[in-house]
Amino acid sequence: MKLVILDRDGVINRDSATFIKNPNEWIPIPGSLEAIALLNQHGYRVAVATNQSGIARGYFDMATLNAIHDKMHKALAQVGGRIDAVFYCPHAADAHCACRKPNTGMLEEISRRFNIELTKVPGVGDALRDLQAFAKAGCQPYLVRTGKGEETYNLSDVPENTIVVADLAAAVKDIIAGDR
């Protein structure tokens, strides 16, 4: 089985410093949904691993998070794409949980659920914590320059094997090209 793991905010949809708090604020980045559909067409399963501390902070509840993800799934279906599973961490950073990226708890759960070793599995993110979690889990980190990607690109502690691309569409082209 071929698998790709994506962060959500800043990779699939526009990010917001004030959180994506309702379905109306979930706006896909141009080309991202088509890129996921292209992965599906090439036999990839797609999982999302996303920190959602807005739940712990009281900005939105589980029903709202589910509504946001429902909008994402429906938008993907309209372009022939799908996300096979969404994993999220609802905790704030001060909870020191195992699931919040840069920790690898969500990625370990993805590995168990999909019954796959994560070695070399592409992991696409826009924030340093995404890249750190992917690298610790053995994934191949991809940094997109959308969302927080530009500021992340300029940090000195980006994992050294990180592949830097413009956006999710460019990451998908590279992933598929490496498949040949």
| Catalytic center residues | 7, 9
Asked if 164 contacts 30 with a C-beta cutoff of 8 angstroms, the reply is: no
| Residue 131 CB contacts under 8 Å (≥ 6 apart), including other chains | 123, 125, 141, 143, 152, 158, 159, 162
Residues in the chain: 180
| Residue 63 CB contacts under 8 Å (≥ 6 apart), including other chains | none
| Beta strand residue intervals within the chain, DSSP E | 2-6, 44-51, 85-89, 122-125, 140-144, 163-165
3-state helix, strand, coil in the chain (%, to 5): 40, 20, 45
